Chains A and B, each alone.
Chain A
Amino acid sequence: MASVAQAIRMALHYGEKHLGVKDVFGQDVGAPLGGVFTATQGLKTAWNTPLDERGIISMAMGIAMTGDRCVAEIQFGDYIFNTIDLLKIAGNTLWCTNGQVELPMVVMTPVGAGIFGSVYHSHSFDAWASRLPGWKIVMPSNPLDAYGLMLAAIKDPNPVLYLKSKALMRHKGDELIPGEPADEKELKAMIDKPVQNSVGWKARWPDLEEYIVPIGKGKITHAGEHITVVTYSRMVHLCNEVAEKLSHEGISVEVIDLRSIYPYDWQMIKESIAKTGRVLFVNEDTEVTNFGEHLAYRTTQECFYQLMARPRVLAGKNLPGIGLSPNLEKNSVPQHHDIEVAIREVVAEVP
């Protein structure tokens, strides 16, 4: 099975071969490194930029303005913050020009904690991203979705932010990408750059097929009856594991992988809450003005009389950063135990 990094690489290859992507660029994205997470190794159109995040976003905007398709990378989401006003402009360009100027660009960046990356390699960006009107924002949790959401992002005529979890880059899924060889060693031999003697190496790409995960469509990753847990990206795995554990105690948890932050799959959330009457929103961005708060607000507005318990948001603590020590990181963003406790609390609450 492909890792998330390999899935992104294959999606970008599919993009440059079939979907008109002419540039994949960013810091260390081209040869020799092919991305610090190897997600751009071997790509025909990948090239290295100066170490200049604002330049990368501007370049993407300029290229997109001409109608050419591009995928730009900010090496770590932690360094995307100095481009926020450019992201704002990219998001408002269509609106400000009364529909005249489209920016069909994708910006991908690794986000979140989980790799003990300390203060400047653990930032989340989903709540910030949700305040960039005009952008679509996706956050895959597994390789197949990583592939399908990247193809959807490339095909979309709007700017799309593709937020990929740092901690999931080596994660392998349990579903094959259409066209991917079943033997992961074979895949590795085809598309992973050799660690030694890589001079002159070229990827041998599998005959990949188009597979689209529509932007705005969530997925139920664990069906349940007693509580709805709405999450995305890395937290999907933690929530699924907790749901599996609690199922042995007769607590039936429905986990929704939102997959897209904006637009988001409200109908899936709403239907699930109608069934369970209880909801917990889980993500790792900081808790004050968190995207989960928006969902909780909407829940109270539209599902209030169906609720059997107060909606809860479990998110990262409102701290200036994630400390390097595992003790600090684990006490900053939700862990299995935190999710389990929160679920138990909501389930135990009596109206």
Chain B
Amino acid sequence: MSKKTTVKPAAKAASKAAQKAASKAKSAVKAKAVVKSAKKVTTKKAGNKSDFGGLSEDLLLRMHDLMVKSRVLEERVIKIYKAGEGFFWIGGPGEEAFGVPLGMLARKGQGLEYDWMHLHYRCTPTMIALGMPMIEAVRLMMNRATDPSTGGRNFAGHYCFPQWNVAPVTSPIEVQYPLACGTAHAQKRAGHKSISIVTGGDAGTAEGDFATCLVWASRKGQELPVLITVQNNGYGISTPYEGQHGETQIADRAKAFNIRSRVIDGTNPVETYIALQEEMDYIRKTGKPSFLEVKTTRLYGHSSADGANRKTDLFDPVMEFEKKLLAAGILNETEVKKIWEIYEEEGIKAQEQARGEPSPAAESVWDHVFVNNENADWRKF
């Protein structure tokens, strides 16, 4: 199979911009400077408060920038999969309007005074917002030894960044929910007002671990500072929401545990940013959990298992937000073009770089079974 790098952004507008940008690609540094200068002159509050919730133009531009970066990265790793340079893809295109604000608002750092994140495998937007360079997702996708999350051992989207309190993503769904109660317990004891954040899908709420999280986070007098979120994209692999749920809203289940809850439009970054900020403030202030059901889309289907092809009929939160910013004059076409161009270029370079990096050595299978590489091979006892 060809190893030639291709550039085919799925969204039409993005495609046009990116194709032109690819042919006239300038250095990313130079392009970033353009965007930076654009940000500098737009720190005032956005003109139409009804559209942008009173968020500053600087904040809106940062959100857009990160959403584009995340989308371009996801499309890059899909291309890597389709080119035969990776074995399996799963990710979060369509969740940028929720994931990016989440990453921006989390208190990033290592240790109990910072927030803990128990993410699932659709959280590339959050990782990008936390500051993950594209190359790290590409290394994970291409199972390189240099992959910082798993050392080439696990799937796309299975991030692990202890330096930011990002817990390892697991393939079994929903186990991350009660783990968040464990970190929240330690955080509450330490008394730093830090919180644990957990994300997951709507179908996974059928698992008992989801109920475990609701029980353990809400015990009277022992409530835990957990932000429980469910990204409801309407599907569990191929089974529609209606085939799996009797409840009208998943958020209603939190009410039975006296957990504050609400449903938000996860395709609107302004709404999610404001809601996340409010809920995080509530949790830090009260030490109690909060629950957000976030309506999102799944633009490339469940995973490579169902083709990883663009669902053109679905609402695209990145392109719609971009249109709004253009219409409000917060961004102009030149800047938009530049942003997509920067990230296309970063993605291509990341792929080319990762391609040249080593695979894990076969004998490294015995590494890290036990701490400090203590012998795990029974043949050597």
> Are A and B associated in one complex?
yes
User: A residues touching B (Cβ–Cβ < 8 Å)?
Assistant: 22-23, 49-50, 52, 54-55, 58-66, 68, 85-86, 89, 93-102, 133-134, 136, 157-158, 216, 262-267, 298
* Chain A-chain B contacts (Cβ-Cβ < 8 Å), number: 135
Q: 8 tightest A-B contacts by CB?
A: A62-B182, A98-B151, A58-B178, A99-B368, A66-B186, A157-B371, A266-B381, A55-B212
Q: Residues of B contacting A63 with CB < 8 Å?
A: 182-183, 185-186
Determine if B182 and A95 form an interchain contact, defined as CB atoms under 8 angstroms apart: no
Which of B160, B186, B187 sits near A100, CB closer than 8 Å? B160
Taking a contact as CB atoms closer than 8 A, the residue among A59, A64, A265, A266 that contacts B178 in the complex is A59
A62 contact from B158, B183, B371, Cβ within 8 A: B183
Separation in Å of the A143 CB from the closest CB of chain B? 27
Which of B71-79, B93-101, B167-175, B247-255 lies at the interface? Answer: B167-175
Q: Tell me if B303 counts as interface (CB < 8 A to partner A).
A: no
Residue of A52, A97, A99, A266 ringed by the most chain B CB atoms within 10 A = A97
Q: How close is A124's CB to chain B, nearest CB, in angstroms?
A: 20
Chain B hits for A157, CB < 8 A? 371-372
Contact residues of B between 146 and 197, Cβ < 8 Å to A: 147-151, 153-154, 158, 160, 162, 167-168, 170, 172, 175, 177-187, 189, 196
- A58–B378 contact, CB under 8 A? no
- 5 A-B contact pairs sorted by A residue (CB < 8 Å): A58-B179, A59-B178, A59-B181, A62-B184, A95-B153
B265 located at the interface, meaning its Cβ lies under 8 Å from any Cβ of chain A in the complex: no
Q: When the two chains form their complex, are residues A93 and B209 in contact, meaning their CB atoms are under 8 A apart?
A: no
Partner of B116 from A66, A96, A262 at Cβ < 8 Å: A66
**B179 with A263: CB separation less than 8 A:** no
**Is there contact, CB below 8 Å, between B181 and A266?**
no
* A98, B177: Cα distance in complex, Å: 23
Residue of A nearest to B162 (CB): A100
Instruction: Tell me if B369 counts as interface (CB < 8 A to partner A).
Output: yes
The distance in angstroms between the C-alpha atoms of A165 and B17, with both chains bound, is: 68
Q: Is the CB of B182 within 8 A of A133?
A: no
Contact present for B182 and A58 (CB under 8 Å) = yes
Residue-wise, chain B 214-229 has the 8 Å CB interface mask toward A (1 for contact) of 0110010000000000
Please state if B175 and A89 are interface contacts (CB–CB under 8 Å): yes
Which chain A positions have C-beta within 8 A of B182?
A: 58-66
Which residue of A22, A52, A93 contacts B216 across the interface (Cβ within 8 Å)?
A52
Collect the chain A residues with CB atoms within 8 Å of residue B370's CB: 94, 134, 136, 158
Within 8 A of A (CB), among B321-377: 367-376
Q: Is B208 an interface residue (CB 8 A)?
A: yes
B129: which A residues are within 8 A, CB to CB?
A: none
**Contact partners of B367 in chain A: CB under 8 A:** 95, 98-99
Residues of chain A contacted by B160 (CB below 8 angstroms)? 96-97, 100-101
A101 in contact with B167 given A58-B178, A62-B178, A266-B381 (CB within 8 Å): yes
Query: Within the assembled complex, what's the spacing in Å between the Cα atoms of A22 and B376?
Result: 28
